[in-house]
Structure 1
Amino acid sequence: MTPQSLPPYGGAKRKLVLALDVGTTYSGISYCILDPGQVPEVKGVTKFPAQEHISGASKIPTVMYYDKDGVVRAAGAETLKDGMQDQAEDQGWTKSEWFKLHIQPKTGASKSIKANVPPLPPNKTVVQVLSDFLKYLYKCARSFIEETNINGEVLWRSLEDTTEYVISHPNGWEGYQQSQIKEAVFLANLVPDTTSGHKRIHFITEGEASLHFCIKGGLMSGASCVKAGEGVVVVDAGGGTIDISSYQVSEDGGKTQTFKEISIPTCHFLGSVFVSVNARVFLKKFLKDSLFSADIDHIVDRFDKATKLRFSDQTDVQYIKFGGIRDHDPSCQIRNGQLRLAGTDVAQFFKPSIQCIVKAVNVQQSTVKHVVLVGGFSASDWVYEKVREALKSRGLSVLRPDQYHVNKAVSNGAVYFYLENLVKIRIARFNYGYMYSQIYNPWLESHRSREHKAYIDPVDGEKTLDGRFSAIISKGTQVSKTTEFRGDVVRRISGSKHALAVLTSIWVYRGPAREHEWMDEDTENFSPLCRIEADLSRVTGPPTPKANGNGFYYAVQFEHILSFSATELQAQIAWKENGVEKRSPAKIVFDPNDAD
């Protein structure tokens, strides 16, 4: 494939961009050293500790071992060294894997996978574990860049305090998950927890990162070029999740293709680890009366590392080699340390994941002409062939990079995103707005039906109802970087007018309905997303006595202004002074409403 060129870097100073792709099972690092006036070159870290003998290795296991004091003793490829498992058992070390899945929202389909996710190490939070792994990736990146560049140590020292970090995450993650990642970044001392430090952290969904990889890597050029007006579905099939993202090429006629989302991105917890989960369920039942039932963990591990990877034909008998030549149990087809399985049984382990991909693609718009499979799970020939076969009837072109490029799609794409963001329009995932109170109006049916919930407000003495929802952004709305969404707010604040006030909570409605006016119409699907904080001292009017005579309050009237910069939510407040609009930045504090 022929890569598309990038424009020369227009900055005034040399800069390092570092993309960290922390996957469920494997992780990778890509980077770019930007020189003023030079065309950027995106590179991958291809040498890691304990993996020096593997030429061009672009991924390491997302695994760590902790000792009894909570200190990391091995990470990445180090965890695969000969004798490591025995050493861990002898020393009482704890293995930490799949920890990324502890960050995910605890809503929707993700609730069902909790039982299959290994627990975190004792006395460790997911932020602490992620921080430890980010430290390790940082160390690997530093060593590689120092070793592969002239005067590498001097180069690194000159760039480390201004390095820009691009961190990818699944499509389904939101502001709270991003705030957890930021905590881990600060804890790892990658950047300081300051305003300037926050600006050096950039987020990108794995689906969008994969799109940028496909575009800039040249996968959709030449005969498979995506033409103006056509759509493409990017399927990022990884270890834990399958991210589905759909885009359409802009028809503006520009020299550089730009894209817009044409459907809400989705995230499904049916990545490659769940093929192994299905295998475990089958084998546990299959071996329940066998002498080898106690070896189920080892057998599943061997399936995961060998049989699963090479499976490509359900008519072929499959073998899981887990023991020695003396290991036999004819009752469950074990001979010479190998467990024999029918290919049709192994195909069933993959079936839910393949069906998920096919179903997700089939519901996309008719403009979609191309499907691109990336991510480590897409390296499976069985997955690729079954998806291609199922989508052939729709006339869809199913593309896949070679295995090496599949594994670095997200990290490389994250750097391309930083250099040249080609997605100009995104779609709001849910309804976002705020809850407010209304003075009770007996002429309105919606009020009369809720009269039992009304109360007398101690501030103004009015009969009042809570729980009215006002949407600022509606689900499905097209959002660009420059689009602003406004919501009028009237608040009454007790206490000092100079206090830093919590203005209000931004709520999200995740339900199936287009919109609800009252929270009690679908309480289960409403939840607080974040709080917006700002200094209101310039907005408040004169003090007003409370209706109950107990002190004063200040009436404030302003607007929330919400905007999306790439994949992150930003907020401001606005008000009028002598007819002129004034603005002030607002701090967003995300609520852990979707945590355990």
Structure 2
Amino acid sequence: MQDEAEDNGWTLAKNFKLHLHPQTMKEKYNLALDPLPVDVPLSTIYRDFFKYLVKHTQDTFTYRVLDGARVWKTHIPSADIVIAHPNGWGLREQEFLRTAAVAASIVPESQSHTRIFFVTEGEASVHYCMFHADLASQFEPNVRFAVCDAGGSTVDITAYSVSEVHPQLQLREVKPSACTQAGGIFVNKAAEDYFHRVFSDPGAYLRPDEIKDFVKHAIDDFEATVKKAFKDVSSKGSLDIGQSRYTNPALGVKRGRMTLDGATTKTFFQPSVNQIVNSLKKQTSGIECKHILLVGGFGENTYLRETLRRIFETRTAKSKAVSDGVVIWRAASSVIARACRFQYGCCGIERSPVKGIDGRERIPGVWHPIVRRGDILQSDEGAAEEFCRFYQTPSPDLGCVSSVIYAYTILGRKEPYYATNVDGKLVCTVTADINVSGIRKKYWQLDFKIGIQFGGTELQAYLEWIEDGKTCKSPAQIIPNSLI
């Protein structure tokens, strides 16, 4: 494949997943992104990537399943599509993936909102562990544990508490999940930087094209051999640099093979491992966590497993946790309560004290949080706060009533008093067609509630009011998951 790519002038779209990360994540970790191929947008890459996945899935299914071609043709037109993504991704990224799936002809656009489902990699992983590792039989109510999904780019960590074991396992998120940029590709990046420094040294006596070729061969062999086998500083590795005639004792290269001592290799791993350890300590602090389940491709790395085993007490699962977990999640979701990542509420724009038409003084513009960061919401329940509006006519034509929901996304800062200090993001507007008879007075007061609830893995906002003695609810408005 490499030779074919060189002959045809193909360019590798390396680590293209990082380009879809939210801007806040890119800025937080100061990500250095590999450039995409010239004149090839990210949407085209994802479209073709999805086509590739579906084509090879179909080929494998047809070959391995009895009467697979007929079964595929019969059921794929109505099949649900579940896409897993990092914990830190949200609505913007989900809409991008949904559009790419439509462009790849996986589902028609008219069915894209009813047949495409999204789940975080952390939640998919916990379903894999519960099903394949047979952990449900070992858990009791109120036992708390964490799932660490160490993948290629992100490491997603979520803490759970067991609510029920029988007749079906039910879990609750204990606190907002964490998403850290400490996956396996950053180990490769550190190794690549090292190889480039070594082969660029004047004492290497190499031309620029030779340096590029040596670095490429070294990093490819590192990922295939040394990276998987590394356990501790006593581990030694040997890499093929692609030129058997090259020998340079000063660089540790003999007949085309480069020797790596354990101390050097450890420096490639340590920054990522330190971030994972710190994130795990933060997620498990104060919750009496009894188990840490390590999954994901990078989670199979020996050095990472041994480090976490030494610091924590872990159980490991196979690397295909997410792909299996999304199927299990769709079939039987076990998570019944999730934690909010930010505050949500309503705000105004005025600060000056004013006298309302009811004669009482108020201070508009005060921040009214409905849910706070870390609040646990069950999937079938919500949190609501009471609000009211005043109208100067005794019988107003209410018609469509709307309220704007904001998110306070700044972490580590004291909760604001005034809404104008929120620096919040407008996340959605909830509306309702309200037809309520008023009492004939000098003014008219409308009492209603603004609520927030989980619908599946998505937060939803709604209005609630009393009409003719009955409780009414507006249609739920999805809050962008990038702000959940």
TM range (shorter): 0.7 to 0.9
Correspondent of 1:584 among 443, 450, 474: 474
Alpha-carbon deviation of 1:588?
Answer: 4.2
Query: Partner residue of 2:234?
Result: 315
1:168-183 pair list within 5 angstroms: 168-183=84-99
User: Which residue identity does 1:482 align to in structure 2?
Assistant: D
Correspondent of 1:478 among 351, 371, 376: 376
Q: The residue matched to 2:118 in structure 1 has which SS?
A: strand
Change (3 A) 1:132 1:519: farther
Query: Partner residue of 2:161?
Result: 248
Change (3 A) 1:253 1:108: closer
Counterpart contact for 2:147–2:158, Cα < 8 Å:
yes
Q: 1 CA distance for matches of 2:92 and 2:460?
A: 13
Asked if residue 504 in structure 1 is aligned to residue 371 in structure 2, the reply is no
Q: 2 CA distance for matches of 1:127 and 1:540?
A: 47
Asked if residue 212 in structure 1 is aligned to residue 110 in structure 2, the reply is no
Correspondent of 2:221 among 288, 295, 302: 302
1:344-355 pair list within 5 angstroms: 344-355=263-274
Q: 1 CA distance for matches of 2:348 and 2:99?
A: 31
User: Which residue identity does 2:374 align to in structure 1?
Assistant: G
Query: Partner residue of 1:18?
Result: none
Query: Partner residue of 2:8?
Result: 91
User: Which residue identity does 2:240 align to in structure 1?
Assistant: K
Query: Partner residue of 2:425?
Result: 527
Alpha-carbon deviation of 1:538?
Answer: 5.0
Counterpart contact for 2:450–2:463, Cα < 8 Å:
yes
- Identical-residue share of aligned pairs (%): 28
Describe the superposition over 1:158-190 as per-residue Cα deviations: whole angstroms up to 9, x where unpaired: 212221122111111222222222222222232
Change (3 A) 1:185 1:573: farther
Asked if residue 234 in structure 1 is aligned to residue 158 in structure 2, the reply is no
Q: 2 CA distance for matches of 1:592 and 1:420?
A: 24
The two structures, once aligned, show a CA RMSD in angstroms of 3.4
User: How many residue pairs align between the two structures?
Assistant: 460
Query: Partner residue of 1:561?
Result: 451
Counterpart contact for 1:354–1:383, Cα < 8 Å:
yes
Relative to the length of structure 2, the TM-score reads 0.84
Change (3 A) 1:110 1:226: farther
Change (3 A) 1:120 1:581: farther
Asked if residue 518 in structure 1 is aligned to residue 415 in structure 2, the reply is no
Q: The residue matched to 2:167 in structure 1 has which SS?
A: coil
Q: 1 CA distance for matches of 2:379 and 2:244?
A: 63
Q: The residue matched to 1:371 in structure 2 has which SS?
A: strand
Change (3 A) 1:264 1:240: same
Counterpart contact for 2:237–2:259, Cα < 8 Å:
yes
Correspondent of 1:441 among 335, 345, 353: 353
1:267-286 pair list within 5 angstroms: 267-286=179-198
Asked if residue 150 in structure 1 is aligned to residue 66 in structure 2, the reply is yes
Q: 1 CA distance for matches of 2:241 and 2:48?
A: 32
Change (3 A) 1:389 1:588: closer
Unpaired runs of at least 5, structure 1: 1-83, 444-463, 543-554
Alpha-carbon deviation of 1:477?
Answer: 0.7
Q: 2 CA distance for matches of 1:504 and 1:99?
A: 35
User: Which residue identity does 1:112 align to in structure 2?
Assistant: Y
User: Which residue identity does 1:240 align to in structure 2?
Assistant: S
Correspondent of 2:344 among 432, 438, 452: 432
Counterpart contact for 1:240–1:270, Cα < 8 Å:
yes
Change (3 A) 1:100 1:487: farther
Alpha-carbon deviation of 1:307?
Answer: 2.0
Describe the superposition over 1:54-85 as per-residue Cα deviations: whole angstroms up to 9, x where unpaired: xxxxxxxxxxxxxxxxxxxxxxxxxxxxxx22
Describe the superposition over 1:273-303 as per-residue Cα deviations: whole angstroms up to 9, x where unpaired: 0001111232333333122544333322332
From the two aligned structures, give the one with the greater helix fraction.
2
Q: 1 CA distance for matches of 2:446 and 2:217?
A: 64
Counterpart contact for 1:220–1:226, Cα < 8 Å:
yes
Q: 2 CA distance for matches of 1:101 and 1:465?
A: 45
Unpaired runs of at least 5, structure 2: 356-361, 391-396, 439-444
Q: The residue matched to 2:168 in structure 1 has which SS?
A: coil
Query: Partner residue of 1:134?
Result: 50
Relative to the length of structure 1, the TM-score reads 0.69
Describe the superposition over 1:491-534 as per-residue Cα deviations: whole angstroms up to 9, x where unpaired: 89xxxx999998535334232136223355463xx333x33365
Counterpart contact for 1:533–1:587, Cα < 8 Å:
yes
Query: Partner residue of 2:359?
Result: none
Change (3 A) 1:432 1:151: same
Q: 1 CA distance for matches of 2:381 and 2:341?
A: 15
1:26-425 pair list within 5 angstroms: 84-108=1-25, 111-115=28-32, 117-194=33-110, 197-220=112-135, 225-250=138-163, 252=164, 254-289=166-201, 290=204, 291=206, 293-295=211-213, 296-363=215-282, 364=284, 365-391=286-312, 396=313, 398-401=314-317, 406-425=318-337
Change (3 A) 1:144 1:108: closer
Counterpart contact for 2:344–2:405, Cα < 8 Å:
no
Change (3 A) 1:197 1:112: closer
Describe the superposition over 1:553-583 as per-residue Cα deviations: whole angstroms up to 9, x where unpaired: xx99754433212211234334443443333
Counterpart contact for 2:150–2:156, Cα < 8 Å:
yes
User: Which residue identity does 2:61 align to in structure 1?
Assistant: I
Q: 2 CA distance for matches of 1:412 and 1:592?
A: 24
Alpha-carbon deviation of 1:106?
Answer: 1.7
Counterpart contact for 1:562–1:571, Cα < 8 Å:
yes
Change (3 A) 1:504 1:315: same
Counterpart contact for 2:125–2:321, Cα < 8 Å:
yes
Describe the superposition over 1:287-336 as per-residue Cα deviations: whole angstroms up to 9, x where unpaired: 33122544333322332232212222421332221123211222222211
